[in-house]
Structure 1
Amino acid sequence: MGAGALSVREKSSTVRVVAPARVRKLAKVPFVELADGRLQGVVSSGSDIGRVYVSSVAAGTYAFACSTNNNRPCGGARGTFCNHIRALVGEAVLQYGGERVARYLKVDVDGEPETYALVMAMTSTRPAQGDTSAAAPVFSRFLRHLAYLELAPTTAPLPEMQWFPTTRAVA
């Protein structure tokens, strides 16, 4: 393929869905993603059923952030990873596989990267507490995903889930 040529997959408006590495339960960590240079997601509170935390770990620096859905700081994320971040890493390993998570976060671990090894490797670098500005967009994406669960099953296309390339200027 020459420079600038697109593959059939790149021209398509559909993306192959990658099955999870292992089955995971969604009650504790209902949303996890590797995006925007971070491992990020939504973690349920262990003490309040109405509260969730938006947690993230930056790739390379392992700067971490954890706050509630209404932007209150997590009490456990003081100088090291809180339990919400540890749970997020664990669910990411289940969803994507330890090797992919380690590669994305740029964590150097020996053997098959599992949750404990990843957390130990990242925390041994003494990462700094990061910026919580990503919490709002992450939580917004989580809510958008929840909205699709409320739709009646259908085979009709959903306009907001279609990709419309523009090939001409709009007047």
Structure 2
Amino acid sequence: MLRPILLVEDNEQDELLTLRALRKNNVANDVHVARDGAEALAYLGLAVGGADLSETPPALPQIVLLDLKLPKIDGLEVLKEIRTNPRTQVLPVVILTTSKEERDIAKGYALGANSYVRKPVDFDTFIEAIRQLGLYWLILNEGPADTIQNLEPAAPSRPARFNPEAEP
């Protein structure tokens, strides 16, 4: 069963363009739209501070497409809350925004964004960007399980050293 996509977008025009681009690229996943940061966190079952809102949190989406400039709770704060909760910390989050500010890019990656994509102005280019996002994140990428709350953290291990003379 396909898990939904969580689209966090407050601009109705950008929401419609994104939904249209997803349909045009035959993305089969359902899309849940959250129009502000608080709604996005509630959909994920999170409260500010990284805590779960209930004892039985909802199933996670396959990916979060996150705008930055949102009402109520800013997109970067939403990302921070997602990464704070052990259940959602590895949930793929792609920042999909019009912001070209270097500090937004740097902070997004510092907070754990998996990707930062600027929304192209040209619709055909936007459709192609969504096609590539869908191809990678929904088809090629091996994402986390529906829930990771029962996973034990991996024991730290020593990184393998590259040895060019080793046998393959």
TM-score (norm 1): 0.29
Bigger Rg over Cα = 1
TM-score (norm 2): 0.29
